[in-house]
Chain A
Amino acid sequence: MSDLLSSVWLADQPPVWSPWQWESVLGQARQSGLLGRLGMLFRDRAWLDAVPAGPRHHLESGVTLVERQQHEVQWEVHNLRKALRDLAAPVVLLKGAAYLMASLPPARGRLFSDVDVMVPYAQLQAAEAALFGAGWVSDERDPYNQRYYRQWMHEIPPLRHVLRGSVIDLHHTIAPPTSRFKVDADRLLANLEPLPGCEGIYVLGPVDMVLHSAVHLFQEGEFDRGLRDLLDLLDLIRHFEQQDVFWPDLVDRAHDLGLQVPLSHALRHLTRLFAYTPPVAVMETVLSIQPPAIQRVVMDWALKKALKPVHPTCDSAGTGLARWTLYVRSHALRMPVHLLLPHLARKAWMRRFPGAEKPANA
């Protein structure tokens, strides 16, 4: 049994799966956060009628859930906008919320967990205070974690609304300032696009949005949503490449921001998994900026395994090692070793001797 989920997105015929293969695919989709998207794919292509009743119910349930979540995200963005009305700076939606509010293709069927927002660093405190006033309170009770986020990360600890439970991740840039792929937020802020009908709210410019998605994917330590992030990228690129300037802009911008490596990994795996081919000239440039051979081979091996759904049917020899390699790598990218080692030691200690009990079972 293998990864059936990766291949379905490009099929032009409804896949013919045995009942047991359906069970696997649905499990893989649930684990990858892609059940709603899979359901939407079947619905958009009018394939649902060809699906046996058992699996069809699950696809439809997946669609119901994402439709509700999107409705809620729109409402949260509305509340967020109200809360940050007086902020003397642009409020930038990132990732899912941005795709949804800007009506971009990856929003279709996408599952949401929180709303990602970016404001200029100078306005971070004011934004946090305004959100606090509107009911969003920091979830993080541990003082070490609080300090770690605020001192080293590109975002503050998640803010949860006291009544609605909605979560906001408040960023001041898109990668940790200590990271190899740190990005000067001012350069992103200089290139924003306004959201029509949503005064004061912005999204990143097209190429920055693509680069953010690539950085996010390959800097994450956890790959359970890796396939979803890669599909986001595929959708974004296919949408934006209809503008002639997109590819040259993207390559230039990746160079300017020092993000060629994440971009090259992203394009390689889009090609491998979805047979997507960027223009030849772009591929040549991208190939010329690849990391050294040994790194490339290791990364290819690890990503090939880690980008599969986290599901027993997709595990093979080395899957665990591959995920661990990427986990370590993601940390090494985020912080220099003299900061990283004390942090990981501290986290290991906190896990071993938790101050508070874990929540009980249902």
Chain B
Amino acid sequence: MRLADLSSTELDKQLCGAGLVLGVGPFAFRIKSPIESVHEGLHRLYSNYPLLRGDQFADFDVTVAGGRGVRRWWRPQAIFRFDGGEPFLPLPFTHAFPLLEWAMNWCVSMHVQRYLLLHAAVVEKHGLAMILPAPPGSGKSTLCAGLIHRGWRLLSDEMALIALQGDLVTPFGRPVSLKNQSIDIIKAYAPEAVFSPTVHDTHKGDVALLKVPTDHVHRIAEPAKPRWVVFPKYAAGEEACLTPRSKAQSMLELGRNSFNYMVLGRTGFVGLSRVIDASDCYDFRYSRLDDAVAVFDQMVADSVVA
């Protein structure tokens, strides 16, 4: 059963009751929220995700509720609750849906040790995964959103889940979070794309979430082999430029951008070196999405022939 099979009334009933249990890649989230924008967001962006029965096991029990007391009316708030605690400060009520997305990322990054978790986007073609680690502002999500509308499959926009045995990347594809100018760029680049309403003035600026293409969700159980680690950097007006990069330095940088590399100790080190051994590492500067697609498609072609 998929979320789309649920009537709007039934969706409301689950979200306001024992929770809507949604399967997202290897994890199940029990989502509870009385907030309209959360209902709409889930309905619009998660319609293709599998739905579990209410009595099945969920990894994370996530509540996004409204503020209490005067904060229901005066500068109303949205609050994230987990295990009865409130890990974040409350946000404005209108940020409720992006808050749910951030909360879901937080749940995984804070509690999961069965994968090596890298802060990176991952896309795939021909079974080969490209890991795109990058600090915020480097255009990683924009690039990722562009690629998945030009034949690449989304594995994740935010977190690479690396298996601790073997080196496969497990998909954890969720709506791609686009910020500020990127929203209009992708709307123009992929007119067929579905977006959440834009939420203004978050701590990341304006945010809109992009729906994952249907067949990517259907293939969410298919892992991929790491083949490239590419550090992207958007540079206005520049021609696309792919430069090889030292493996050692790339490994250090990936480790620094990991949520649990230190916690996993030796296992993390071995896992990360397997990824690096299997991957060509590059820096990539670009200003046009089409250039990026051309360069990356060429990398696939070279790889498949070889």
**How far, in Å, is A19 (CB) from chain B's closest CB?**
4
Interchain CB contact under 8 A, A60 and B113: yes
A23 to B111, CA, bound (A): 14
B263 CB contacts on chain A under 8 angstroms = 64-65, 68
Contact of A311 with B83 at beta-carbon distance under 8 Å, contacts A27-B61, A362-B102 already known: yes
**In the complex, per-residue mask of B17-46: 1 if CB is within 8 Å of any chain A CB, else 0:** 000000000001010000000000000000
A19 to B111, CA, bound (A): 18
Interchain CB contact under 8 A, A362 and B59: no
A20 CB contacts on chain B under 8 angstroms = 55, 57
Where chain A touches its partner, the secondary structure class is helix
User: Does B84 reach chain A (CB closer than 8 Å)?
Assistant: yes
A18 to B53, CA, bound (A): 13
Q: Which of B88, B106, B113, B114 has the most CB of A within 10 A?
A: B113
Interchain CB contact under 8 A, A360 and B30: no
Contact of A58 with B59 at beta-carbon distance under 8 Å, contacts A65-B113, A361-B89 already known: yes
Interchain CB contact under 8 A, A54 and B102: no
**How far, in Å, is A109 (CB) from chain B's closest CB?**
14
User: Does B251 reach chain A (CB closer than 8 Å)?
Assistant: no
Interchain CB contact under 8 A, A361 and B113: no
Interchain CB contact under 8 A, B85 and A361: no
> Which size bracket describes the interface of B in this complex?
20 to 34
> Which size bracket describes the interface of A in this complex?
20 to 34
A266 to B203, CA, bound (A): 47
User: Does B191 reach chain A (CB closer than 8 Å)?
Assistant: no
Interchain CB contact under 8 A, B89 and A358: yes
Within A48-66, which residues are at the interface with B (CB < 8 Å)? 52, 54-55, 57-58, 60-61, 64-65
User: Does B264 reach chain A (CB closer than 8 Å)?
Assistant: yes
Interchain CB contact under 8 A, B265 and A71: yes
Interchain CB contact under 8 A, A54 and B88: no
**In the complex, per-residue mask of A79-108: 1 if CB is within 8 Å of any chain B CB, else 0:** 000000000000000000000000000000
A194 to B48, CA, bound (A): 62
A68 to B84, CA, bound (A): 26
Nearest first, the 4 closest Cβ-Cβ pairs linking A and B are A19-B57, A61-B113, A54-B57, A64-B113
